[in-house]
Structures are given as structure tokens and as C-alpha cells.
Structure 1
Amino acid sequence: MDLNNSICQATQEIFQTMLMMEASPGEVLTERNNCFENSITAIVGMAGTNKGMLAIHIPEPTALVITSSFLMMEVTEVDEDVKDAIGELANMVAGSIKADLTEQGQEFK
């Protein structure tokens, strides 16, 4: 099971197909830093034989751009639509990861 590859591939595919944006892997964080300040976090749980959680942290300015792309209209402030859009993004990425890992023989519900 190549979890890191599945996460990167799923994220890139969702950004390309749903948002018409490019995403690329960044630095792996091993300890807390200030990158989570002024950001929106969405968490999706995955269960089955394998269990885990996917957390996506998006800086607020990036969340506005993502939401604008989803809604096809300019969004200029963080509101419930922005929070919902980032939650949906996390859900789509988690679903893609689940599908990829299931193809690799991992079991998820």
C-alpha cells in the first residue's frame, strides 16, 4: 500500500478535474508550525479493516479561490459556503483515496 502516492494522486486529480487547478506535493510536516493559522480545516474519517482520518488544511485566501472555482463566482469572504466547499473537497479526495486503496486490496466501508 502506497498511501503517500494515493494521497498525492487523489489530490492532484480532484484539483485538475473539479477545480481546473494544479496541485503539487509540498513539504511534509512532522511538527506543528504556524501554517494552520488563518486556515480552514476539513477532516474526513475512513473506516473498515483499515481506519484513518484525512485532514486538509487550506489557508483562507486559497479557500476563497477554491470556493470561487466551485461556485463559478467570486467569493471574497469566508462564510458557510467556503466551509462547505472545503469539506466537499476533503470528501472527494478521501473518496478517491479510498477507491485507489480498495483497488490495491485494502478494505474500506
Structure 2
Amino acid sequence: MELKSVMEEISKDIADATRTLFETMIMIDLKFNNAAVVNQPYIKADVAGLISFMGKYHGLIGLFCSRKFSLQIASGMLMEELKAFTPETIDAIGEVSNMIAGNVKTKITADYGEMILSIPIILVGGEPTCTEINSLPVSCFTKDPWLITNFSSGDEVFNIGLLLKETK
């Protein structure tokens, strides 16, 4: 199957897994906006939660959001309002990234083979925090196309990105 077709099929699973997770565990209503394969070398965000995977296909699933939305996610996960960026915020973004990747893995294993997931890696940029370098936004560079699945909640927009390659 052509890689672009595989990515388009998986985009539906990403949208379903993300929306279900946010509505049932984080208590945030999401609106799915669109999904598109983009030749965009940089994905920029204040916060990125990344999970790599290996199997018949290998690549990366990433949650990309603003610092403000990461606090909303962490507040929902912890069931308490967080006003400052803390290590608990980082843990929550890692857990949400892991749950999205795990749900996608479960949905696509039957069609695309078994996958092994990494532990989450969380990158934080923007304003001064406990884990940052030079107050720069986080940038993920690649020469391969991303599948970007775009969501919104209120005035916040965030993306789930998929970088996918067939293992040879």
C-alpha cells in the first residue's frame, strides 16, 4: 500500500483516539478540524510530546500545543487547576502523548503489523521554565512529510503529527 494512503487511513484513527481520550479522561471537548499530509520541514510549538515507534512502519507521533493548552491538558488529567508550568505538566503531556500513541497502535496493529513504542520525550520551549534552552520555540525538523491532524478547543488549536516510513 502506498505510504500516503496508509497515512490517510491512520489519520482517522488518530482523530478518533485523540477525541475519545480528551472527552473521557481530560474532560475537554475537541473539534476535529482537518488532517493533511504536509511537506513542512518544521513543526513549531511551545510544547511537544513525542513517541517513536518501530515495526513494519517506523516513525514518530507527536502532540504539539501551546503552553496555555498544555496547562489545560494537565489540569484535566490531574483534576485540579494548574496555573504554572511544573514537572506535573510535563508528566501529563507525556502521559497524554503515550495514550494517544497507544490507542493508535491498538487500532492499526491488525492492518499494519505489530509496533513497539518508545517512552515519551517532552520538549518545552517558550518562556523560562524548568526545562528549556534560550527561550526558543520547540522545532521538529524533517525532510519527510508529516501527517498533521488539527484540533481545536475554544480558542486553542493543537496538532497531532505523524511521521511515518516503511521499514525495509
Larger Rg: 2
Residue of structure 1 in register with 2:16 after alignment: 9
Q: Output the TM-score relative to the length of structure 2.
A: 0.57
CA distance in 2, matches of 1:29, 1:64: 28
Higher helix share: 1
CA distance in 1, matches of 2:93, 2:25: 12
Residue 83 (structure 2) pairs with residue 76 (structure 1): yes
Is the Cα contact below 8 Å between 2:56 and 2:112 reproduced in 1?
Answer: no
Residue of structure 2 in register with 1:92 after alignment: 99
Higher strand share: 2
CA distance in 1, matches of 2:22, 2:16: 10
Q: What amino acid is aligned across from residue 55 of structure 1 in structure 2? A: G
Root-mean-square deviation (CA), in Å? 2.1
Q: After TM superposition, give the deviation of residue 33 of structure 1 in Å.
A: 7.5
Aligned residue pairs: how many?
107
Residue 113 (structure 2) pairs with residue 106 (structure 1): yes
Q: After TM superposition, give the deviation of residue 69 of structure 1 in Å.
A: 1.1
SS in 1 for 2:100: helix
**% identity of equivalent residues:** 25
SS in 2 for 1:51: strand
In the alignment, structure 2 segments of 5+ residues that lack a partner are: 1-5, 117-168
State which of 56, 59, 71 in structure 2 corresponds to 1:52.
Answer: 59
Q: Output the TM-score relative to the length of structure 1.
A: 0.85
Q: After TM superposition, give the deviation of residue 24 of structure 1 in Å.
A: 2.5
Q: What amino acid is aligned across from residue 74 of structure 2 in structure 1? A: T
Residue 47 (structure 2) pairs with residue 40 (structure 1): yes
Q: What amino acid is aligned across from residue 101 of structure 2 in structure 1? A: A
Is the Cα contact below 8 Å between 2:51 and 2:98 reproduced in 1?
Answer: yes
Q: What amino acid is aligned across from residue 11 of structure 2 in structure 1? A: N
Extract structure 1 runs of 4+ deviating beyond 4 A.
32-35
Worse overlay, 58-67 or 90-99: 58-67
